[in-house]
Amino acid sequence: MKHFYLTLTFLLTTFVAIAQIPSGYYNSANGLIGFTLKTELRDITANGHTARTYDQLYDGSGVSGSQGYVDTHSDVNVSSGNVYENDGTVLDMYSENPLGTDPYNFTHNVDEGGNQNAEGDCYNREHLVPQSSFNSALPMQSDIHHVIPTDCRVNNYRGSFPFGNVGSVNLTSLNGSKRGTSSAAGYSGVVFEPIDEFKGDIARALLYFATRYENTINGYTSFDMFNGSNDQVFFPWAIDTLLDWHNNVDPVDQREIDRNNAAFNFQGNANPFVDHPEYADLIWNPNPDTQDPTTPTNLVASNPTASTVDLTWTASTDDTAVTSYDIYVDGVFYVNTSSNTTTFTVTGLSPETTYIFTILAKDAAGNTSNLSASDTATTLAGGATGTNCTNEDFENIPVNAGSYATRTWTGVDGIANGWTATDARTDQVLNTRSICIRNGTLTSPSISGGIGELTVTTQLTFGGSAGTFDVKVNGASVGSIPYTGDNTTSTTTTISNINLTGNVSVVLENQSASNRVRIDDLSWTCYSALSIEDFTLNTIKIYPNPVKGNLLNIEVEENTRFEIYSILGKKILEGNVTPANKQVSVSRLNKGVYILKLETPNGSISKKLVKD
């Protein structure tokens, strides 16, 4: 184990008796609910709170009867037995592995502070609410309920990002904590997600902070979880996440109760959400919404193209508000609309294919309606399009650099150093990592399969004005990609009906010489002028479809590459078939609808594949 210097004698002699929170500490809060309860808890936790110095957190130096982190954050059996290695090392929520051997350990008052180049170099003091929110003022700066010991490197990774559930990961620590774009409806920025074991601990620390500092917190708006109020404090997406972590993912355990008692011993106040977990819902959710929205009606599927179908429906109603709709294609979840819109265009469909559509409504509490009555539509014939020929996510761009220069990298297409960006920097985040271009261009390698429609997300960086990128395919302009003048708003744009076959190279050229613009999630669908029937009837047979077992037969006359995608465009399986080897194992596929893409010497085709 790394950094381990403690001895058994030390463990047996250094831990002091932990004071108990006084009987009746919360009596004045009895019977209260809502923000009235929160204000009373603020008075309770402010009374008796002694602000300690920042340095006293490490060892309680000068604090009678307390050793700071040694008492509150040690992996040692105090009273509960709810510990891990029981070795007296620093109990660090960013490095502890509750299911096995820790990747590294720290010793109290030996490994704190210092320089860090990798995980395990040192531990320091992590402010769950960033110091920048309250200008490093006391007592917030040294409040042991929300300032915890953590690995220096992971602390740096987290930075000042809010806490939340990660949808798309751009970094994972050695114990499984993650950083990446948020999966919460209502917030699309970067968040930090601890492992499940400590989500409740962190949620309760943030709820404590919102309560203890109620009288000043409306000024701490630089933290993206705070909405600028002193009652609600949190944005809806944030409080929903915290209540879920608190109630469902990681409820209070004895280890946390022991830590709360030790924290009271250190600074004279307690975290009420540890002692009374019910307070959280009594404040932020005193009248929980349990009513389902009504079922959406009058669903109509119309205006089919070779790869899209438009949906419209009559809105559902709810006792609070409908917030979004889930759309299903052939009984398989397709997308959540993330808004209460009553129109949507389903993309990525195969030509000359009949699809069944249904939807259901959701409210902010997660209540759902019944599925709507279904409607069907058949896509048109035409060029074979629908699956993506590239999905560039910019995760492979060079290491973070804030200067502007020419950058090259290997994209998801696998073509070595095939992507180029001029006058570009690599330290900006949009959905995840992104390329940021000033007076320059983004150029793709030459990729086979043609191009049907192109989609990309842009966002102005720093200051500037609204503008556009000119989009060229094989040297010819096919449209433009806009970005707004608001550097907090991203824009996702699709250019349809480009419809060029063969090898294609795409160039995005900034029409401004000074606007700095992030670019992320660039993709385009394949396109072939040959119809599915040209292949299916003459040279290819695909059976059985639906697939009822684990073997799919693809009979071909020439060596052919196959790729199988989910209905949302995620590649699941790929390989090759030949005239002599026609069987493909699809045991990895769950029941549902997929897209089968075939690349032959004559072009590419796509076909719907069903696994029963």
User: Residues 102-120: what's their mean pLDDT?
Assistant: 92
Quote the CA–CA distance of 94 and 151 in Å, as a whole number. 6
On the question of pLDDT at 1 being above 50, the answer is no
Q: How far is CA 82 from the centre of its chain?
A: 30
Residue 416 vs residue 156, higher pLDDT: 156
Beta bridge partners of 325: 361
Looking at domain 387-528, its CATH architecture is: Sandwich (2.60)
Work out the pLDDT band at 218, boundaries 50, 70, 90: very high
Residue 209 has pLDDT above 90, yes or no: yes
What own/partner pairs with CB < 8 Å and gap ≥ 24 does 168-172 have?
168/431, 168/432, 169/432, 170/395, 170/429, 170/432, 170/433
Is residue 198 within 8 A of residue 180, CB to CB? The reply is no
Length of the chain measured in residues? 612
Taking residue 386's Cβ as centre, other Cβ atoms within 10 Å add up to 28
Q: What are the tens digits of pLDDT across the range 14-50?
A: 333 445 799 999 999 999 999 999 999 999 999 999 9
- In three-state secondary structure terms, 532 is helix
Supply φ then ψ for residue 279, to 5 degrees.
-60, -35
Report the distance separating Cα 336 and Cα 565, nearest Å.
19
Span 372-376, average pLDDT: 93
Rounded to whole angstroms, the Cα distance separating 70 from 123 reads 13
300 and 357 Cβ atoms separated by less than 8 Å: no
DSSP code string of 391-406: EE--TTSPSP--S-EE
DSSP string, 145-176: TTEEEEEHHHHHHHTTPPB--EEEEEEE-TTS
51-65, 229-243, 273-287, 384-398: the lowest-pLDDT one: 384-398
Provide, rounded to the nearest whole percent, the portion of the chain with pLDDT above 90: 62
Question: Which amino acid is present at 89?
Answer: T
Helices 236-244 and 196-212 cross at an angle (nearest 10°) of 130
Pairing of strands 551-555, 541-543: antiparallel
Q: What type of residue is 274?
A: V
Kindly state the greatest CA–CA separation across the chain.
Answer: 88
According to DSSP, residue 90 is labeled B
Question: What is the dihedral sign for C-alpha 596, 597, 599, 604?
Answer: positive
Closest among 349, 350, 378, 346 to 359, alpha carbons compared? 346
Q: Is 262 buried (19+), middle (13-18) or exposed (0-12) by CB count in 10 A?
A: buried
With vertex at residue 553, the alpha carbon angle to CA 547 and CA 558, rounded to the nearest 5 degrees, is 145
- Residue range 144-164, pLDDT digits in tens: 999 999 999 999 999 999 999
Q: Does residue 6 surpass a pLDDT of 80? A: no
pLDDT at 563 (0 to 100)? 85
> Reduced to 3 states, what is the DSSP secondary structure of residue 475?
coil
Among residues 609, 590, 588, 472, the alpha carbon closest in space to that of 544 is found at 609
Query: Quick one: CA dihedral 102, 107, 111, 112, positive or negative?
Result: positive
CA dihedral 304, 309, 315, 319 (to 10 degrees): 170
pLDDT at 430 over 90: yes
- Sign of the torsion formed by the C-alpha atoms of 49, 51, 52 and 57: positive
Whole-angstrom CA distances from 163 to 96, 185, 198, 203, 281 are: 18, 14, 12, 9, 19
Predicted pLDDT of residue 387: 65
Higher pLDDT, 304 or 511: 511
Q: How far is CA 522 from CA 391, 406, 471, 506, 566, in A?
A: 6, 19, 12, 10, 18
Helix (H) or strand (E) holding 574: strand 571-577
The rounded distance, in Å, linking the Cα atoms of 178 and 192 is 6
Q: What is the pLDDT of residue 539?
A: 65
Kindly give the residue spans of alpha helices, DSSP state H, lying in 231-387: 236-244, 254-267, 272-275, 278-284
The whole-number pLDDT of residue 162 equals 97
Report pLDDT for 5. 32
From 59-68, 77-86, 123-132, 440-449, the region with the lowest mean pLDDT: 77-86
The CATH architecture one would assign to domain 532-611 is Sandwich (2.60)
Model confidence at 335, pLDDT cuts 50, 70, 90, reads confident
Higher pLDDT, residue 302 or 4:
302
CA distance 178 to 169: 7
pLDDT of 551-575, one tens digit each?
A: 998 988 888 888 887 765 667 888 8
Is CATH 2.40.30.10 the classification given to domain 297-381?
A: no
- The reply to whether domains 297-381 and 532-611 share a CATH topology is yes
Q: Which whole number is the average pLDDT over 351-358?
A: 87
Cβ burial of 30 (10 Å; 0-12, 13-18, 19+) is exposed
Q: Do 351 and 275 meet the contact criterion of CB atoms below 8 Å apart?
A: no
Q: Which residues contact 394 (CB under 8 A, 6 or more apart)?
A: 432, 433, 434, 435, 519, 520, 522
Looking at 14-28, 317-331, 415-429, 568-582, which range is the least confident one?
Answer: 14-28
Can you give the pLDDT at residue 528? 67
Residue among 346, 410, 390, 392 nearest 524 (CA): 390
Dist. CA 132–CA 144, nearest whole Å: 17
Q: How confident is the model at residue 601 (pLDDT cuts 50, 70, 90)?
A: low
Report domain extents, the chain: 34-284, 297-381, 387-528, 532-611
pLDDT of 383 reads 47
Query: DSSP readout, 209-253?
Result: HHHHTTTTGGG-TTSTTB-S-SSS-B-HHHHHHHHHIIIIIS---
The torsion of the CA quartet 219, 220, 221, 226, rounded to 10 degrees, works out to -110
* β-strands 297-302, 332-336 pairing: unpaired
- For residue 382, the model assigns a pLDDT of 52
* Structure tokens, 430: 């949009």
> Once rounded to an integer, what is the mean pLDDT over residues 40-62?
96
How high is the pLDDT of residue 438?
A: 96
